[in-house]
Chain A
């Protein structure tokens, strides 16, 4: 059992979400930076889809009522006071010890995996908190107690390279609605950096910058949306959809961020600058 003393600015339980329910109006949800959650789980010998904790801006304090192997990945936070603790490595937290995380050097979301996984009750096959629809457990609060499941395997003697700060560039697959924009709009989207707005969240990264010029006015009939979709509402300021995005929407999508770059998008902080490109990076 892990008791939350302080969750930091925003913390939730996340696994890999609830795929297969989009046609019933259910967002996929799951870890915003799924690659980091998968890595944290591997480090403690969990299946990649086990539930962990997604911290936003670090600053959490967790009391371990029983000892546990844990691993931290994603936005790198200082972890003072626990022997062997750090990013990208499994370490032991003794019973009665408190794990305190500082604020991240860079990035936004830090993942904590615990050997055995966080064992809150699943909803529609997932333990993820869906901030859009309210499915799954409530966000962590002081006093929240997180049960830990039984361990399936031993802890592998492995560690990951230190988290690498990747350049803030998002590679796009054009479309599906690039034809709703003026010729050259996609080029313009890729020519200037955008600033990440304060009202970004797990639904999407809201951007401030040049507005891609539309070729057609009005709204589309509602259509299915994918994670990474860059949706352009009438105001012209793009939104990059993250894990809790609505399954359908009526604003045209000019391009979709490649899966490998969703982790970059999920680690953007308000105030960060980010670029789009349609060219493959080396």
Chain B
């Protein structure tokens, strides 16, 4: 049974228990946006709904209704569209990742590009997408000491996730390569091709 918790006067935090349900609830709410909702923030096991102008009892009832109506299944894909990301595998940590995984660098690249990834959620920085579906062999810990600066476009992995640094920032993920695809541009609306549920394919360039 999922719980709906108060997050202050204007927020409701829905416990979904899974990323797939977070995505389905996010999609159902966005398809028919309840009055007064200004933010819907899916996370791996929750969805935060912020609605300063809403009737809370009605909103809570709607959330519970969506959860009851949920038919299960996998994450809702955002549509048939797949964002293809060309990657040059020249990252500073490529050799170290191969050694940690006990495979060759060619196999690291093969495994990283083999399966379709799905955007779990965004956080850490604007446009920074946690890409789920990484080959388990490539699950490696973060760097012991984060780098003070990672260039924009760096393609990296840490734990069960892959990511593309949207802007230059400090970072502790292991760098496999880089892409020339811009994943953050405030002149565009939306400013990033990624949102929770977006399907992503990495291609060795």
Contacts and interface: CB of A to CB of B under 8 A. Distances in A.
Given A22-B41, A23-B41, A226 B10 contact: yes
Nearest to B19: A221
Interface residues of A, number: 36
Contacts of A11: none
A182 interface: no
A246 interface: yes
Contacts, number: 119
Interface stretch (A57-65, A90-98, A149-157, A252-260): A252-260
Interface in A2-59: 19-26, 28
A25 B7 contact: no
A259 B9 contact: yes
A135 B126 contact: yes
A257 B8 contact: yes
A23 B50 contact: no
Contacts of A137: none
Given A23-B39, A25-B122, A175-B5, A124 B186 contact: yes
Contacts of A124: 186, 191
A2 B26 CA distance: 44
Contacts of A225: 48
B123 A222 contact: yes
A248 B7 contact: no
Interface string B38-75: 11111111111010100000000000000000000000
Interface of B: 5-11, 13, 26, 38-48, 50, 52, 121-130, 167, 186, 190-192, 194-196
12 contacts: A22-B48, A23-B39, A23-B195, A23-B196, A24-B122, A24-B195, A28-B39, A221-B44, A229-B7, A229-B8, A248-B123, A259-B52
